Each structure stands twice: as structure tokens, then as C-alpha cells.
Amino acid sequence: MSNDVNPAQAAASTARASRAVWLKQLHQWHWISSALCLLGMFLFSITGITLNHASQIEAKPTIVRKEATAPAALVAQLKTFAAQHDGAKAPLPAAAEDWLLATWSVKAGGRAAEWSADEVYLPMPKAGGDAWVRVGLEDGAAEFENTDRGWISWLNDVHKGRNTGTAWNWFIDIFAGACLVFCLTGLLILKFHAANRPFTWPMVGLGILVPAVIALLFIH
């Protein structure tokens, strides 16, 4: 009996083996990216809804104001510093940061303050609110104000990456990359299974067409 292998069968067997390898890799990357994206996608989906209806969700900000008088020695140091940085932005001296922490539990964290001859102003924007400190350089009168706009505002700012810091901005970029891998591997998996699923490409086309038409016709 002849042991010759039919070239067509060999080619088909090779193609099936190659297809199986690619599908295995795609499924592996697809589930890994989906696992990495799970919590982030849930969070961004929820905050997408809250952002879309921000005008309908009433937020009542809570404002806390505090006053104090800075020590004379600290005011003198700030005056000297202000003379060197008038009209510029620079972090507070360590002594000023320590005083804010001890007086109001405010962590300046090396943020840049706005310096002038008569006052120093430290803005401290944050997700879901705002805060600032002002110290008068004539009499040492200091003010602290903290505004909290609630957890929905916080979530919305987290969604936009507004005043969320470097670590969260890095997370958003990495999350976006993982979502891209998730979508591309999903598309390729669809391609492999499309022959046995006739509605695959019509559904993909519908998913592209609907937002494109809405954007073109209703966004002005």
C-alpha cells in the first residue's frame, strides 16, 4: 500500500493546525485583556452614564472654611521668599508646609503656589472638589477653603482623569491599551468564526453604522 499523502489533504491539515494555533493565541490574549479591563470597563461604563446626565443629577457642594494667623517668623520667611519669586509659581517652603499640616491637616505635597508681594495663594484642585489656601504677607492672616461636590462628581472627574494625579493617568493609558487589545482580538476571533456564523459581519457593520449615522446626523 502507498503511504503517499495527498498534497491537498496535507495543505488542509497544515491550515487547520495553523488556524488552531492562532485561535488559541487570540483567545488567550482576549481573556487576559478582558480580565485586566473588567473593573475599569465597569467603572467607565457607569461614569459614562453619570457624565451624560450630569445636568440632571443634582450636586450640593459642601464648603468648609477655616481661618488662622501664621506665626510671625513664618510670615517673615514667606515675605523673603515672595520677594524672590514675585509673580512666579513655586512650592511653599518646608516650614510653611509643616505649618499647614499642623494647623489644618492640609498636605501641600510640593504643589506650586502663586507668589506676589502681598500674599501667597496655593491652589489645590482635586477630583470631585477644590481647595485653596491664602496667606496674607502683611498681617499673616491665613484662609483655607475646601469644597466637596460629592461622590458622583468625584467619579466623573475620575472618568475624565481630572485632577487625579500621575498614577491614575497612567492607569487610564494602560487600561485604554488593554481595551484596544480586547477589541482587536475579539474582531479577529469573529473573523475566524464568521464562516459558520452568517450574521457576524452584518452585526459588526451595524455596530459601526449606528454610531456613525447618529454622529453625522445629530451631533452639531
Over the stretch 38-60, which tens digit does the pLDDT of each residue have?
999 999 999 999 999 888 887 78
Q: Do the beta carbons of residue 46 and residue 155 sit within 8 Å?
A: yes
93: three-class secondary structure by DSSP: coil
- Please determine, for residue 196, whether its predicted confidence score (pLDDT) is greater than 80: yes
Query: Residue 43 has which C-alpha cell?
Result: 467603572
Instruction: pLDDT band for 14, please (50, 70, 90 cuts).
Output: confident
Cα–Cα distance for residue pair 116/123, rounded to 1 Å: 14
Per-residue model confidence (pLDDT) at position 10:
67
What confidence tens digit (pLDDT) does each residue in 107-148 have?
Answer: 998 899 999 999 999 999 999 999 999 999 999 999 999 999
- For the beta carbon of residue 104, count every other beta carbon within 10 angstroms: 17
Q: Do the beta carbons of residue 96 and residue 78 sit within 8 Å?
A: yes
Q: Do the beta carbons of residue 113 and residue 106 sit within 8 Å?
A: no
Instruction: pLDDT band for 12, please (50, 70, 90 cuts).
Output: low
Per-residue model confidence (pLDDT) at position 71:
96
What confidence tens digit (pLDDT) does each residue in 62-98 have?
Answer: 999 999 999 999 999 999 999 999 899 999 999 999 9
Q: Do the beta carbons of residue 143 and residue 133 sit within 8 Å?
A: yes
With pLDDT > 90 as the criterion, what percentage of the chain qualifies?
75
